[in-house]
Amino acid sequence: MRTLEAFTGREITTEVVRDKINHPCNAFNLENNGHESFDKRAWGIEAQEQPGGQVSYFIFSIDPIV
The domain limits of the chain are 2-61
Q: What is the pLDDT of residue 6?
A: 75
Residue 63 has a pLDDT of 77
DSSP state of 65: P
64 pLDDT band (50/70/90 cuts)? Answer: low
Give me the half-sphere count of Cα atoms (radius 13 Å) on the Cβ side of residue 30.
11
pLDDT tens digits, one per residue of 5-61: 776 777 888 887 788 778 777 777 888 888 888 888 888 888 788 899 888 888 888
Whole-prediction pTM: 0.49
